[in-house]
Amino acid sequence: MPIISMRNVSKFFGEFQALKNVSLDVALGERVVVCGPSGSGKSTLIRCINRLELHEVGEIVIDGTTLTNKPSDLEKISSTVGMVFQQFNLFPHLTVMDNLCLGPRRVLGLSEEQAQERAMKYLNRIQIPEQAEKFPRQLSGGQQQRAAIARSLCMEPRVLLFDEPTSALDPEMIAEVLDVMTELASSSITMIVVTHEMGFARRVADRMVFMDKGEIVEIGVPEDVFTAPKSKRFGTFLNQILNH
């Protein structure tokens, strides 16, 4: 059974249709990379999965729970799905350690000791244990994004969503974040990553999803897609970003 299953999902912003009849199954442990031109609905797609946006039409089933638009859904999926944002969105008034401990303490009910132990485990994993007591703005962009990844991991979600996690970073910091994500991909966590880092996609993705104008135009494994995409639109898109 897929951990995420979207059936004919449509999403409207007023009159504007941001998702058109989107269907996508993601298996447990699978790593999916989503790409497509700006405004094609990539963010909207993953934001519908973790309920930052509510869809109007179709069905989204996460880990056996069908999402309706009731607030109680949020609680049901919340421990299953985590999210990493383009702008990191760390809490600026809290230290890195406190950023990481907040969820485990308040939501999972861990003791302070347990929460800190868990936080250190993930800070070690993303290789910034020495930054624990610093505030976000004292960290480099790459370190902030890694801390944000660790904050998500502390909730031990089964699915982790990434919305362009490296596009707000200076070029020299992109690699360190991608390295952390590549390392993550070797674990059992399910990942859906919106990114234009095609090197990363080639290395890590089990499947690639190409979106355009609110539709999923093509889904394929990286080898096929990079050698010969089926649709012309995907071909043009790949050409553009690979040659630029």
Partner 1 sequence: MTRLLILIPALLMLSGCANNWGWYVVDPTTTSGWNNLKFMANGAYYTITMSVTAIIISVVVGLLVTLPGLSKKRGWRMFNRTYVEIVRSVPVLVLILWVYYGLPALSGITLNVFWAGVFALALSDSAFQAEVFRAGIQSISRGQYEAAQSISLNYRDTMRYVILPQAIRRILPALGNQLVYMMKMSSLVSVIGLQELTRAANELVVTEYRPLEIYTILVLEYLVLILIVSAGVRWLERRLKTSDA
Which spans of this chain sit near ligand ATP (rule: CB under 6 A)? 13, 16, 18, 36, 38-44
Q: Which long-range contacts (CB under 8 A, 24 or more apart) does 87-92 make?
A: 87/168, 88/136, 88/141, 88/144, 88/145, 88/147, 88/148, 88/168, 89/148, 90/136, 90/144, 90/147, 90/148, 90/151, 91/136, 92/135, 92/136, 92/137
Contact flags string 3-42 toward partner 1, x per CB under 8 A: ----------------------------------------
Give least dist CB 165 to ligand ATP, A: 12
Q: Which of residues 65-84 bind partner 1 (CB under 8 A)?
A: 74-75, 78-79, 82-83
Q: Which of residues 106-145 bind partner 1 (CB under 8 A)?
A: 106-107, 135, 137
Give least dist CB 216 to ligand ATP, A: 12
Q: How many angstroms from the chain centroid is the CA of residue 70?
A: 23
Q: Among all chains, which residue has been given the structure tokens 């996460």?
A: 62
- Closer residue to ligand ATP, CB minimum distance, 123 or 198: 198
Q: How far apart are CA 1 and CA 35, in angstroms?
A: 25
- Closer residue to partner 1, CB minimum distance, 75 or 172: 75
Does 43 engage in binding with Mg ion (CB under 5 A)?
A: yes
Q: Which residues contact 1 (CB under 8 A, 6 or more apart)?
A: 64
Does 52 engage in binding with partner 1 (CB under 8 A)?
A: yes
By CB under 8 A, name the one of 50, 143, 166, 195 that touches partner 1.
Answer: 50
Does 172 engage in binding with partner 1 (CB under 8 A)?
A: no
Q: Which does 177 bind (CB under 5 to 8 A by kind): ligand ATP, partner 1, Mg ion, none?
A: none
Q: How far apart are CA 34 and CA 22, in angstroms?
A: 13
Which element (helix H / strand E) includes 59?
Answer: strand 57-62
Give least dist CB 40 to Mg ion, A: 9
- Closer residue to Mg ion, CB minimum distance, 43 or 152: 43
Q: How far apart are CA 192 and CA 207, in angstroms?
A: 10
Q: Which amino acid is at 88?
A: F
Q: How far apart are CA 178 and CA 174, in angstroms?
A: 6
Q: Which does 46 bind (CB under 5 to 8 A by kind): Mg ion, partner 1, ligand ATP, none?
A: none
Which residues, listed in sequence order, are joined to residue 119 by a DSSP beta bridge? Answer: none
DSSP assigned state of 93 = T
Q: Which does 41 bind (CB under 5 to 8 A by kind): partner 1, Mg ion, ligand ATP, none?
A: ligand ATP
- Closer residue to Mg ion, CB minimum distance, 43 or 131: 43
